[in-house]
Structure 1
Amino acid sequence: MNARDLVQNGTRKKIGNGKATNIWRDNWIPGNRDGKVTSVRPLNCKIKRVEELICGFRWRIPLVFRTFNRKEAEEILEIPISISGKDDSNYWIHSGNGIYTVNSGYKALCRGTVQYKERREKEAETSIASSYEKQWKWMWRLNVKSKIKHFLWKCLHGLLPVNSLVFKRTHKGDPICGGCGEQEESIEHMFFQCSKAQEVWKMAPLQWDGLREQTGNFQAWWTALLEATCRTEGKEHIELTVNILWQLWKRRNEWQFNAKHRHPWKIIQKALQEWQEQKDVQSKQEIVSEDAVRADEEVDQEEAGWNEIQIRISTKEQDQSNRVGMGIFASTFNNHWVAAWALFDRKTVNQLQSTAEAVKMAIIKARHQQWKEIVVHITSPQLLKMIKERKAKDIKMATLIDDINDLRSLFQKCSFCLDRSLDSRCEAISDYALGIFQDEEWINPQCV
């Protein structure tokens, strides 16, 4: 692929007023692979530009459904329309700000090459090979020490130097298990079938009784073990199990090379200790991250003044009606309510997009009230970061982030703060909004 094709394939039209985008030729639908319309053009259809599908900064829903197939129509209706009336622009989908750089182009090309190879490999894979991919994916995600991941990698590749493997490769030594002295020491025997290993598993705080039929093949056993990831605390139980495997291997080496024997309970204790230590390390990292976010939130809160209107937002989705209800509540600094709005819109695939739409509508409502200073409370750290950095994760969010930042320039002061607590008043309004067919507002005349 040459540079021209790379840029063309990675560029989409970001809809502004829709005047410069040809419906049938341009790449403008984010959900489609190449961005182009796939619906068959209806007979006698004369519309050519996206602007013909828009009226009053909203999609002409009946026209969209008449012109496109249902899947594509739903995709189009999820594209935010800019309220600023900006011209359509080109957007590079492989960067956060939509701007092409040589670096982002190189990375996109590398990703495309890797994805192509993965697709080719996937086509040639058997069902067993597919299970191996799952093994690697979850192995590297485990919260265990790096050396234990490397040990597990060797187990899954059949490279752990147990007696049978060493004898097979070098024809030296004894292939028999040094623990029980009864059978050849394979990976499966050392971990599951040896009487010494079975003593350890009997003392373990968790049991995998349903995996006994798989203990003849370590890879099959591991694949079956991964099914536990879908249950409560399943990932943590797998991490503890991996620590037990590691301790079994260490005990085997102790009696193999140093003639030392550890009691089975001490092996379990050591596995529990290392498992808990790793959990504590992860918890501390999460606490540090939470403290950093909280510190940013406190700084933002301290900036709030007595004259600023506090705006809180809530969104609720309803699958049956494909609607999203928005609750917006405005109050003074000392929590006296000023105004409230119940709004409804079409449900989007992305909850973050619905929240961004609600934030935009809240600022528009504040502008209509001619408030000069506002503070918008946002429950999503991800959305707050996008607004402050003016970067979005995709083309749809980019339009909303642009609108939000354009709107904030209309105030003397418009700031945003992280507020993780959901306001009960907002939640009640958003629930109510799911049942209305016309936007409603309540204004407190004493505060206007």
Structure 2
Amino acid sequence: MGDFDLGGWNMEMVHELFDEEESKLILGIPLSLMGCKDRIIWHHTKHGGYTVRTGHKVAMELQVNGEFKRTVTGMASGKAEGDRMWKGIWGLHVLKKIKFFMWRCCNGSLVVRRNLLRRCMNVDVGQDFRGCWEALLSCIKGMAMQEEILQDVVFGLWRIWKCKNDVVFQEKAENPMEAIEVVRDSLVKSKKTGTREDGGATEGWRKPKFRTLKVNCDGSWNSKTGLGSYGWVIRDFVGYLRRARRARKRPFNSAILAEAESILATLVFCKNEGFMKVEIESNARCYCE
């Protein structure tokens, strides 16, 4: 069913052999540009091989979704229907480590007294953190400075946690006023430089190393039509444009596949052109790393 001369599927044959839904899924599978043989892969790992760890993770997700028909007490944060709190945490414009800290706070995975109480230890506890966080979100919902308020709160909570750990594990007590100044400095620095989703400062296009080409590639995908496209631009170390291409629209099963196809097509083009020293920059960091 693959038309390797044209580098894609034989669409007429696919539509003839399969129904509309199955045809859409099949046509969204990218074919190899190198003509290699098909092989079975485990798509939950980067290298395509099965591991017990990822297998257990998938099994737990299936159990949470009810596909194993078992009743469970917990629910993964990303699977909770109607709960937008997790999106709010991961969407904060703060460092990634602080987002992860807030996720652990709301998920009840930090070593705090409430968790000790769950293990039948006789300790005094305060209010549940997740309940307090949800109450805060309800109070500031719709405010013009909602993002700034949340940044102040999470930076402050992060610093309190750090100070507490210094006292417990290093017997190092920090002056409260000095801790407040550290929080203020961190907030001012973050707002001046900006913060990306990956925790780094926002920057413009950066030149590659001497005698190195830099490729910026990107893919797009429409979930309603299932069609996607990609394009890329090659510049030299001075910043001059060397090459640029845009592919025609074709079926993809997801946006990440369109991103991956853009990287693959760029690498193939650079190899054919004899470009050996190339730096790739893409939104799909899971492939670039």
TM-score, normalized by length of structure 2?
Answer: 0.52
Aligned residue runs from structure 1 range 125-144, under 5 A: 141=103
For residue 84 of structure 1, what is the aligned residue in structure 2?
A: 34
Aligned residue runs from structure 1 range 64-75, under 5 A: 64-75=14-25
Distance (whole Å) between structure 2 residues aligned to residue 365 and residue 330 of structure 1 = 11
User: Which of 194, 197, 200 is matched with 1:290 structurally?
Assistant: 200
Matched residue type, 1:74: K
1:373 aligns with 2:276: yes
Distance (whole Å) between structure 2 residues aligned to residue 323 and residue 58 of structure 1 = 14
CA change 1:282–1:67 in 2 (3 A) is farther
Residue pair 2:227, 2:249 contacting (<8 A) in 1 also? yes
Distance (whole Å) between structure 2 residues aligned to residue 235 and residue 121 of structure 1 = 37
CA change 1:310–1:54 in 2 (3 A) is same
Distance (whole Å) between structure 2 residues aligned to residue 136 and residue 338 of structure 1 = 43
Residue pair 2:63, 2:69 contacting (<8 A) in 1 also? no
Distance (whole Å) between structure 2 residues aligned to residue 339 and residue 132 of structure 1 = 46
Shift of the alpha carbon at 1:73?
1.8
Shift of the alpha carbon at 1:324?
3.9
More helix by share: 1
Shift of the alpha carbon at 1:226?
8.6
Distance (whole Å) between structure 2 residues aligned to residue 109 and residue 241 of structure 1 = 36
User: Which of 355, 359, 376 is matched with 2:259 structurally?
Assistant: 355
Secondary structure of 2:22's aligned partner: helix
Secondary structure of 2:238's aligned partner: coil
Matched residue type, 2:208: Q
Secondary structure of 1:340's aligned partner: strand
Residue pair 2:218, 2:230 contacting (<8 A) in 1 also? yes
1:382 aligns with 2:259: no
Residue pair 1:311, 1:377 contacting (<8 A) in 2 also? yes
Structure 1: which 5+ residue stretches go unaligned? 1-51, 123-129, 157-217, 243-272, 389-448
Residue pair 2:28, 2:226 contacting (<8 A) in 1 also? no
For residue 340 of structure 1, what is the aligned residue in structure 2?
A: 244
Distance (whole Å) between structure 2 residues aligned to residue 152 and residue 236 of structure 1 = 24
Distance (whole Å) between structure 2 residues aligned to residue 318 and residue 135 of structure 1 = 26
Distance (whole Å) between structure 2 residues aligned to residue 316 and residue 136 of structure 1 = 25
Q: CA RMSD in A?
A: 5.4
Shift of the alpha carbon at 1:222?
4.5
Residues 393-429 of structure 1: CA distance to partner in whole angstroms, max 9, x if unpaired?
Answer: xxxxxxxxxxxxxxxxxxxxxxxxxxxxxxxxxxxxx
For residue 301 of structure 1, what is the aligned residue in structure 2?
A: 208
Matched residue type, 2:285: Q
TM-score, normalized by length of structure 1?
Answer: 0.37
Q: Give the number of equivalent residue pairs.
A: 226
Distance (whole Å) between structure 2 residues aligned to residue 106 and residue 120 of structure 1 = 15
Distance (whole Å) between structure 1 residues aligned to residue 113 and residue 187 of structure 2 = 17
Shift of the alpha carbon at 1:58?
0.9
Shift of the alpha carbon at 1:231?
8.0
Secondary structure of 1:71's aligned partner: helix
1:225 aligns with 2:141: no
Residue pair 2:29, 2:253 contacting (<8 A) in 1 also? no
Secondary structure of 1:360's aligned partner: helix
Shift of the alpha carbon at 1:377?
3.5
Identity within the alignment, %:
16
User: Which of 128, 135, 143 is matched with 1:153 structurally?
Assistant: 128
Secondary structure of 1:66's aligned partner: helix
For residue 175 of structure 1, what is the aligned residue in structure 2?
A: none
Matched residue type, 1:290: G
CA change 1:340–1:117 in 2 (3 A) is closer
1:99 aligns with 2:49: yes
Distance (whole Å) between structure 1 residues aligned to residue 232 and residue 67 of structure 2 = 48
Aligned residue runs from structure 1 range 121-270, under 5 A: 121=71, 141=103, 151-153=126-128, 222=135, 225=138, 228=141, 234=146
Residue pair 1:95, 1:104 contacting (<8 A) in 2 also? yes
Distance (whole Å) between structure 1 residues aligned to residue 52 and residue 17 of structure 2 = 38
Secondary structure of 1:290's aligned partner: coil
Matched residue type, 1:92: W
Distance (whole Å) between structure 2 residues aligned to residue 155 and residue 378 of structure 1 = 37
Shift of the alpha carbon at 1:223?
11
Residue pair 1:312, 1:330 contacting (<8 A) in 2 also? yes
Structure 2: which 5+ residue stretches go unaligned? 73-79, 90-101, 115-124, 155-179
CA change 1:346–1:376 in 2 (3 A) is farther
